[in-house]
Amino acid sequence: MKKTFYLCLLGASLSTGLFAQTQEETVEAIVKEATENSQLKLLAHQLLDVVGPRLVGSPEMKHAHDWAVETYSDWGIDAENQQWGVWKGWDRGITHIDLVSPRRVSLEGMQLAWSPATKSKGVEAEVVVLPEAKDSVSFKNMLSQVAGKFVLVSMPQPTGRPDDNWEEWATPESFEKMKKDRDALNDTWNARIKATGHSSRELPKILEEAGAVGVITSNWSRGFGVNKVFSAYTEEIPMVDIALEDYGLLYRLADYGDKPVIKVVAESEELGEQPTFNTIAQIKGSEKPEEYVILSAHFDSWDGGQGATDNGTGTLVMMEAMRILKQVYPNPKRTILVGHWGSEEQGLNGSRSFVKDHPEIVAGVQAVFNQDNGTGRVANISGNGFLNAYDYLGRWLNAVPDEVASIETHFPGAPGRGGSDYASFVAAGAPAFNLSSLSWNYWNYTWHTNRDTYDKIVWDDVQNNAILTAVLAYMASEDDEKTSRDQIVLPVNKRTGEQMTWPEPRDGNRRGGLDD
């Protein structure tokens, strides 16, 4: 069933008793506090500008956890960092990448996460393209060509313009020709990788063992100047990502025989085994303290940018909602708890560990509200396979002022199996819902990229989401009824012909990047 709420039914859906008046006044107070005393920009400055990106195991991640606890304490909200595991510690430091021959220019790029460092003076060497071999035996015989060299291992993109730019300005024939040529180049490059006998993930280590001094990638994200920045696969030599524009320059110079030389200074530092945390804060319930409304957002990020929209904005929403609730609803019926999860990006590890470690909280969950897909206004909520979610989510959504949101709902929906931390709770049978937002070109421009920065935040939308979250938390806390956990009967998988089953809870990886 698909149903759209336009959230204009407040007056019609409520009785005229004292509770209705109190409820309406509380919602108005939430809106007033959010709009007249917003702390969003201050919080964003402190988290994104001062702390910065929050790679699990990094000093910035620990700084962020400590800052959150201090901030909640300043608001009079109990908070603590709960350790759930350990992770490979790494401090990015500064990366300099310069072309020094045949001309001199600084290039845009950075180390990939957990990349080995260079020596303090850096490493200077020629850049070559990954050898092109007919098969794995031939490739093995050609590996001596990479010794003492930086190796380009990504396909050179034929254009740095996104497709929508081509579609707007090119002739239809030119646009189609570009796409056809790009597809052919992609097929050729994939064949080149396949002929090595190794996957793209395995190749950096093979090149390292063959004596390469560094590996260069360019993971373009189909937008102007934007690359995705993930982790390194080398153990001794640096692995860096270079922006499409500069990567193309290096590739053309190498391909035409101009023997480009670059110098890389990568000042990262390995820190050994580091503790990793979830930050947990709560406003204790006055009537049903062992039942929980949970606000959820992952705290960690990849570190190509500032982690602003993934998931800085989700973090800001949950912190601001908690601040507002403490001001206007300081004695909730149920406990309102917020979880800022660690290491979501490596597999929901913080939230999975929390679910595993706190079965008593999971058993008492009234609802979980999670936000984690960019800066846009929340526009969609799924019932996640909970049979009666329509009943209680419908009641709560009807209290949200119509100027705040128009939300499309999908009931009963299907259980989320990954993607963000709500899935950790769904797998344990707790009613958990993702507050899914409008795109704002999230996937191309800010999701895991070097452009996920403060300037991409849309403040009106984030404020909207803080109000929505605070109202939903208030309504879930006040509801006279405990939410149902009844689940739908899942359909038969069309591909396998077998009955689908509810996802199973999984523990987090509690020793990330560390040898056992």
The average pLDDT across 360-373 equals: 98
Q: What is the CA 357 to chain-centroid distance, rounded?
A: 23
Convert the pLDDT of each residue in 226-272 to its tens digit. Answer: 999 999 999 999 999 999 999 999 999 999 999 999 999 999 999 99
Token pair 């344990």 is at which residue? 428
Taking the model in full, what pTM does it have?
0.94
- Upstream peptide bond of 37 is cis (omega within 30 degrees of 0): no
Burial class (CB in 10 A: 0-12, 13-18, 19+), 59: middle
- pLDDT for residue 2 is more than 70: no
Convert the pLDDT of each residue in 376-390 to its tens digit. Answer: 999 999 999 999 999
DSSP string, 327-349: HH-SS-SEEEEEEEES--TTTSH
Residue 154 CA: distances (Å) to CA of 20, 105, 131, 189, 345: 61, 21, 12, 8, 23
Burial class (CB in 10 A: 0-12, 13-18, 19+), 403: exposed
pLDDT of residue 16: 38
The average pLDDT across 81-87 equals: 98
Give the confidence band of 374 by pLDDT, cuts at 50, 70, 90.
very high
Convert the pLDDT of each residue in 112-165 to its tens digit. Answer: 999 999 999 999 999 999 999 999 999 999 999 999 999 999 999 999 999 999
**Among candidates 140, 270, 300, 149, which has minimal Cα distance to 212?**
149
- Rounded CA separation 212/205 (Å): 10
Q: With the C-alpha atoms ordered 393, 398, 404, 406, is the resulting torsion angle positive or negative?
A: positive
pLDDT of residue 405: 75
pLDDT of residue 7: 43
**Among candidates 198, 187, 453, 434, which has minimal Cα distance to 304?**
453
The average pLDDT across 327-338 equals: 98
The amino acid sitting at 124 is: E
CA atoms within 13 A on the CB side of 239: 25
Q: What is the CA 44 to chain-centroid distance, rounded?
A: 16
- Rounded CA separation 310/312 (Å): 6
Residue 231, φ and ψ in degrees, nearest 5: -115, 160
Burial class (CB in 10 A: 0-12, 13-18, 19+), 461: buried
Convert the pLDDT of each residue in 177-207 to its tens digit. Answer: 999 999 999 999 999 999 999 999 999 999 9
CB count within 10 Å of CB 18 equals 8
- Rounded CA separation 458/439 (Å): 11
Please, are residues 125 and 262 in contact by the beta-carbon 8 Å criterion?
yes
DSSP string, 190-251: HHHHHHTTS-TTTHHHHHHHTT-SEEEE--B-SSTT-BB--B---SSS-EEEE-HHHHHHHH
